[in-house]
Amino acid sequence: MITARDMAYAGMPPRGLAMPPAAPATLALRERLLLMVLFLSALLSSIAFIEPSPHDALMPVLATACIIAGVRFDRRVTLLFLLLLLWNAGGLMSLLNVAGKEKTAQYAATSVYLALAAVMYACLFAEHTMQRLVVLRTAYVLTAVLVSLAGIAGYFHAFPGAAKLFAPGGRALGAFKDPNVFGPFLIWPALIVLQRMLTRRIHLLDLITVTVLLLGLLLSFSRGAWIHFGISGAAMIALAFLTAQRQAVRLRIFALSIIGFALLAGFIAIALSFHSVAVMFAERFHLFEPYDVGQGGRFRLQEIAISALLQYPNGMGPFEFSIVHGLQQHNVYLQAFLVYGWAGGMAYIVLLGATFYVALRSVMVPTPWQSYLICSLAAFLGEVLEGFVIDTDHWRHFFLLLGLIWGLGAATVKYQRASHAHMAGGQWTHVGAR
């Protein structure tokens, strides 16, 4: 499952330390079962036009596989668990305001499920880190490419009915219900491949993969996703540059970044040569749309939402703001207070701050999974900022990133302790294996 190329890409241990012993060539049956379920659940994560999705249906199976494989609750993710618990407690309390209303209990249940998924991911990647990351990366990149191809086929009417299925309304959305969710879903795998190209070698398959993902992202015509990618891409490049251990790698990152920006501009220019793309791009390429401003616009609704959250310390409950005012406020931070109450909203804000602290504390440490943490932090940063213009509290890939950061943070702490023990004359503990 882990190829020589994967291990080369993974990175090196801190200078002055020997490489830890390699993981066993043959994995235990229960670990192989876990990796298989992890691969399948990630592969199906791009099918999101129905609820519950196939990915949702597989999460109990993945949880069972985790138990069978002996995945333990890591005490280093306790704060993650407690903050998510408080966030959901506030959400459950707010249900008292909308008791008996349609889909409100389902909304709260989805929040609970996603919180548990984030904690499960954190514990999952806190041990056997590299082999599980490689499986996740392979499945996620593959499914992102497939769903991008579906969106591209739909946009260009590649076969009868393709547009209706994969690009209704003239915007690619693949197997998602909303192009504004489809676009951000593609960013983490795009960063993973781009980071590998910047710091290692450029392979033809990587070039094809990035081209497909970026075309899918462009054809989503999601302004939030475009800005998200720009911020996350810049953050990934900066972090890769700062964490590079050799001057030659820094020079490579700098040179390839300049070339990459030029190629991206050329890529967009070629895409805009298609009339339909140019028309939709001109329509969407505005900082503010008519529905953002004005009396009934997004930003006016956000002003109303600020007043509303001051009046409802226990929250209004799911969907209540849109029922009262006609539309959602499209801001996940206002959503956190309106739906989950003051306690839940504060827990959500603290959760984001704590996640950035864990990521920044760990990302500068040379570990085999450092590149994954760089891409996860960069994608998470973009998603957090995008939350100011859209509700991300039920995005599956947001909670995957959340769990990844906490899990890799926990693995990094164990890696550092093993490093110190080695330097002190102790025996190396292969934290990547267990």
Q: Is residue 271 part of a domain?
A: yes
If pLDDT is split at 50, 70 and 90, which confidence band does 13 have? very low
The pLDDT, as a whole number, for residue 277 is 83
Q: Is residue 98 part of a domain?
A: yes
The pLDDT, as a whole number, for residue 46 is 94
Q: Tens digit of pLDDT for each residue in 129-173?
A: 999 999 999 999 999 999 999 999 999 999 999 999 999 988 999
The pLDDT, as a whole number, for residue 236 is 97
The pLDDT, as a whole number, for residue 80 is 97
Q: What are phi and psi of 281, to 5 degrees?
A: -60, -45
Buried b (16+ CB within 10 A) or exposed e, 235-253: bbbebbbebbeeeebbebb
The pLDDT, as a whole number, for residue 377 is 98
> Contact, 155 vs 215, CB < 8 A?
no
For residues 47 and 159, give the distance between their C-alpha atoms in angstroms, rounded to a whole number. 20
If pLDDT is split at 50, 70 and 90, which confidence band does 274 have? confident
Report the domain count for the chain: 1
The pLDDT, as a whole number, for residue 293 is 52
Kindly tell me if the per-residue pLDDT of 423 is higher than 90.
no
> Contact, 214 vs 190, CB < 8 A?
yes
**DSSP symbols for 177-218:** S-HHHHHHHTHHHHHHHHHHHHHS---HHHHHHHHHHHHHHH
Q: Is residue 10 part of a domain?
A: no
Q: Is residue 336 part of a domain?
A: yes
Q: Tens digit of pLDDT for each residue in 389-413?
A: 888 989 999 999 999 999 999 999 9
Higher pLDDT, 210 or 272: 210
For helices 247-272 and 204-219, what crossing angle results, to 10°? 50
Q: Is residue 429 part of a domain?
A: no
Proportion of the chain above pLDDT 90, given as a percent: 65
Residues 6+ apart with CB under 8 A from 176: 46, 48, 49, 147, 182, 185
Q: Is residue 432 part of a domain?
A: no
The mean pLDDT value of the chain amounts to 87
Q: Can you give the pTM of this predicted structure?
A: 0.88
Q: Which domain holds residue 356?
A: 32-423
**DSSP symbols for 131-174:** HHHHHHHHHHHHHHHHHHHHHHHHHTT-STTHHHHH-GGGS--T
Q: Tens digit of pLDDT for each residue in 330-350?
A: 889 999 999 999 999 999 999
What's the average model confidence in pLDDT over 116-121?
A: 97
> Contact, 317 vs 97, CB < 8 A?
yes
Residues 6+ apart with CB under 8 A from 251: none
The pLDDT, as a whole number, for residue 425 is 59
Kindly tell me if the per-residue pLDDT of 10 is higher than 90.
no
Radius of gyration of the chain (CA): 22
Q: Is residue 387 part of a domain?
A: yes
For residues 104 and 106, give the distance between their C-alpha atoms in angstroms, rounded to a whole number. 5
Q: Is residue 16 part of a domain?
A: no
**Other residues' Cβ atoms within 10 Å of the Cβ of residue 100:** 7
